[in-house]
Amino acid sequence: MFRFSSEDLRDSLIAESQILSEVKCIEKYSSDFFVEFVKQVDTKEQSKRNGDNPFSFQQDEFIEQDNIYNKIKGAIVSYVRGASSSVKGDMQILTIKTTDLKNDFAGLNTSIMVNECSVSNTSNFIHLIRECKDLYLRTIKKQTNLFDIIEQQFCEIVKLASKREAEISSFYSLDKKERENSLLREKEDLENKLFSIESETELAKLNEELGLIKAEEKERGKLCGKSRKYYEKGTEKYNRKKFLQFEIKRFEESHEEYRSLKNRIADIRQQLSNLTNVPTTYDAAISALFVRISDIINDVLRNIKSNIEPTSEIDYSVLSMSEIPFLNVTIPNCSQAELDFLNVTLREIFLLGNSNISEAYILNLIVAAATDFKSFPAATTKEGQLMISTLQTYWKYKNNKVSGFEIPCNLPVFSSIMAFFVKPFGFDQMERFMQNRGINYKQYGFMLWGCAIGYASLPKTFTNLLYSNDNIYKKMDEYLFSVHKNIELQRPCNQ
């Protein structure tokens, strides 16, 4: 029974449901409806299959089948999304160079405002602006004055930055340096007194224990892809943390000398900050010019994006499922090492099951895939050895054993896979990473990501591109229908 507080609410629900069914389903998909006569299942025979229990619906088998299809569909839809939106040639170069221009201006803004200097590489910026303009006109084939405006704004920034540097230099004198050194010495003396008070009381132990709990929370966060995961309310660790915070606060409030020292140190830090960051009459004008340039470049990037048409011709014959639930890919003109590693990684994602993506998940996946890949003959080739070396270096980097890593530029499919390993927490981050690195084959990184999280978790902003294009989604849905039939045949629930 369903209870409503008024007839109007009941009638409103009925009307809305009818509209949703009629507009969102019937009108939209009526042209795709078809009739297929299906042989009626004998209820007695069905009863025999299910046993005497009429509520035996093979729940576990259906759940397993759904989980398999969820991962496979997530992989396929993400593959299509990547393949249909991959950008190549001059359009890719234009996008990368325009993005680089935006990033360079952001860096220049920081350099001017923080380092208090003028623009030293004016000619480099002018050259990059004009290079982007020429490439835009050659690729988009539309006249625009946006790059001319950017150059004018930049020349104005150069003039103001020079005047700002001259004004700031007048602030720096011997008295200012002496004042700064005096404050630093006072701050050091006060911090030593503060440390002495903490050592002589229980405060040092309280702070140390609280620090350990916070460190544990950070480690918990790494396992689920967060900066920190707090202990749940009511747990022993949560209660202990609250107790420590209360005791530390109570000590600081009751110990007048300690409180006075902390306030004085905070005051000195503010004075040092004021000495370092000297405000000038040009700050607001320069900031406004940088905001204007950023807005113009964003307009340029939107224009570029609007001129990129998605590819509707997707070759589904490269995908196969000879062994459920494992999905295999065939890539023409690709090294055997890259192909083997891609399929091995897909297989390992299925074996890891339903897990939330985290730093630990990615590192475990890398170890499992690399270990399995080493058993393939292609692992001994030049490409295979380079891939293994890259994975080892990246694993060490994530475990703070090396300072950096490099992705080989001559292995395009492997570069796409690495994009997933490096930026696994969202397609937008992954897409931006590929764009900045000039990685053309987005479909393989997306495929791994979609398989890992499953179709049910794909955001609408990711799939909008597909479902707004009839030529793409209809062919994709036909293929997915055949995939689902294949899963039902190989993993039937009614046996």
Task: Give residue-wise pLDDT tens across range 372-391.
Answer: 999 999 999 999 999 999 99
Beta bridge partners, 329, equal 319
Per-residue pLDDT, 294: 93
In 3D, which of 138, 110, 107 has the Cα closest to residue 124? 107
Could you report the per-residue pLDDT of 310-344, keeping only the tens digit for each? Answer: 665 788 888 887 776 678 888 888 899 999 999 99
What is the SS3 string spanning 64-126?
HHHHHHHHHHHHHHHHHHHHHHCCCHHHHHHHHHHHHHHHHHHHHHHHHHHHCCCCCCHHHHH
Rounded average pLDDT over 87-91:
69
| Helix or strand (DSSP H, E) at 366 | helix 359-373
The separation between CA 18 and the C-alpha centre of its own chain, rounded to angstroms, equals 39
Output the six-digit token pair for 348.
């390992």
Q: Letter for the amino acid at 146? A: L
Q: Look at 37-46, 117-126, 145-154, 173-182 and tell me which has the smallest mean pLDDT.
A: 37-46
Q: Look at 43-47, 114-118, 143-147, 359-363 and tell me which has the smallest mean pLDDT.
A: 43-47
In 3D, which of 92, 129, 140 has the Cα closest to residue 431? 92
Whose tokens are 């003396």? That residue is: 189
Rounded average pLDDT over 6-12:
77
pLDDT band, residue 165 (cuts 50/70/90): confident
Per-residue pLDDT, 315: 83
- Phi, psi (5° rounding) for residue 3? -105, 135
pLDDT band, residue 464 (cuts 50/70/90): confident
Q: For residue 173, is pLDDT > 80? A: no
Domains of the chain, by residue range, sit at 1-35, 67-87+312-490, 89-171+280-306
Could you report the per-residue pLDDT of 93-144, keeping only the tens digit for each? Answer: 788 788 889 989 998 988 888 776 788 889 999 999 999 999 999 888 888 9
Q: For residue 395, is pLDDT > 70? A: yes
Q: For residue 222, is pLDDT > 80? A: no
pLDDT band, residue 26 (cuts 50/70/90): low
DSSP for 284-314, written as a single string: HHHHHHHHHHHHHHHHHHHHHHHT-PPP---
Per-residue pLDDT, 55: 44
Q: Would you give the end-to-end CA distance of the chain in angstroms?
A: 36
